[in-house]
Amino acid sequence: MIKKYCHIVILMSACTWASNPDFIGEELKYAAGFRFFPAGEAILTFSADSLNGESVYKLTTSVKTNSFLDAFYEVRDEIQSWLNPENLSLKKTIQTIREGHFHRDHQSIIQGDSIAVSGNKIRNIPGRVYDPISFVYYLRNQDLSLGNSYKFFSYDRKKIREVIVNITAKETVQVSAGTFNCLKIEPVSGDGKPLLKNNGQMRVWLSDDSLRLPVKIEQKTNIGTMVMKLKEKKYSSY
């Protein structure tokens, strides 16, 4: 279940992009666990970068278990995503997955808005696509309203699927980083099938302010609810 850290940071839409330079240099740290059982830490960083001579944004997600769980199932995952600065759609992704005895290295390159290349496999895509990390930052820049729904196409290595994001409530959430007024967001698959394996469900709370910080993320699974809570945020100069 720890390997879901990266993938529960999912959600986003397909609306009008408005650049937010406040994200550049941002680092968000999360405590992750099952209810009162701590499991580890996840870190999201957003920076300016270049790809093949073009200016892009780069998102890096790193995930690791704590020292206690390392003795049973050590996780050291990193996902790097290079994004189109105009709309944060995916241009390239590199996944380095280290979970117990399972190791995987994967790279995908998006060519235009029509082709995804992974190794020797070429797949057609239905236009702009987002991975389970870039979604969050794309949605953070949208004019979200309670009761509205948003659509996007998710690309995650083997699957391309339509996802519908529903804004379902306004709630106050308290975490280590502070107390936030939040919008509660619930994504569902556009085809009516469960969004996650084993009929898993997901909820995300974004701060109801200009930054739209991902404050809390819950993933319900068949063995319990995993929760990620924002514990620290910092910004470096760029």
Q: What is the CATH number of the domain that holds 228?
A: 2.40.360
Total domains in the chain come to 1
pLDDT at 14: 34
Buried b vs exposed e over 56-85: b needs ≥16 C-beta within 10 Å?
bbbbbbbbbbbeebeeeebbebbbbbbbbe
Nearest to 5 by CA among 89, 101, 79: 79
- How far is it, in rounded angstroms, from Cα 61 to Cα 6? 7
* Domain span including residue 231: 2-235
Predicted TM-score (pTM) of this structure: 0.84
Give me the pLDDT at residue 138, please.
84
| CA gap 109, 234 in Å, rounded | 30
Along the 238 residues of the chain, how does pLDDT read in single tens digits? 444 434 433 333 333 344 555 689 999 999 998 877 899 999 999 999 999 999 999 999 999 999 998 999 999 999 999 999 988 999 999 999 999 999 999 999 998 878 889 888 888 888 889 886 787 788 888 888 899 888 888 887 777 888 888 999 999 999 999 999 999 998 888 877 666 655 567 889 999 998 899 999 988 766 578 899 999 999 886 5
pLDDT computed for residue 1 by the predictor: 43
Maximum Cα interatomic distance, the chain, rounded to a whole number of Å? 48
Report which of 163, 134, 161, 165 is spatially closest to residue 148, judged by C-alpha positions. Answer: 165
Q: State the pLDDT at residue 163.
A: 87
